[in-house]
Amino acid sequence: MKGSRLPDMRKARFGIGEIVRHRIHPFRGVIFDVDPTFNNSEEWWLSIPEEVRPAKDQPYYHLLAENDETTYVAYVSEQNLLPDESGEPCRHPQVNEIFEGPHSGRYRSKPRIVN
């Protein structure tokens, strides 16, 4: 189509199996999926206070997350993630269902058996 442009796609900074931590909030996790841009509900996005609401046009990561009290699944913008350099494995109970490791600070996806 003449005059239409596809949105610019940024290359994701982090990959599946990487251990990351949140830039502001006290949690960390293992990335198990990546969206090239925001792919959640408008209601979820608007629930984030405007002064800290991340842009939609960046990669968003699905994490098997943990903090001092619990484990859960988190959806986090790239601008809010940093590499986790603690060297500690993640204790989320689903990590061992999806991944092997960690090896050299990251997890590897387990081979999938397909019928």
The amino acid sitting at 33 is D
Per-residue pLDDT of the chain (115 residues; tens, 9 = 90+): 444 454 555 689 999 999 999 999 999 999 999 999 999 999 999 999 999 999 999 999 999 999 999 999 999 999 999 999 999 999 999 999 999 999 888 999 998 777 6
Number of domains the chain contains: 1
Tell me the pTM.
Answer: 0.87
**Does residue 1 lie within any of the structural domains?**
no
**Does residue 66 lie within any of the structural domains?**
yes
Report CA 67 to chain centroid distance, whole Å: 15
**Does residue 75 lie within any of the structural domains?**
yes
CB of 20 within 8 A of CB of 50? no
**Does residue 92 lie within any of the structural domains?**
yes
**Does residue 73 lie within any of the structural domains?**
yes
The DSSP 8-state label assigned to residue 94 in this structure reads T
Neighbours of 34 (CB within 10 A): 16
Q: Which pLDDT tens digit goes with each residue over 56-89? A: 999 999 999 999 999 999 999 999 999 999 999 9
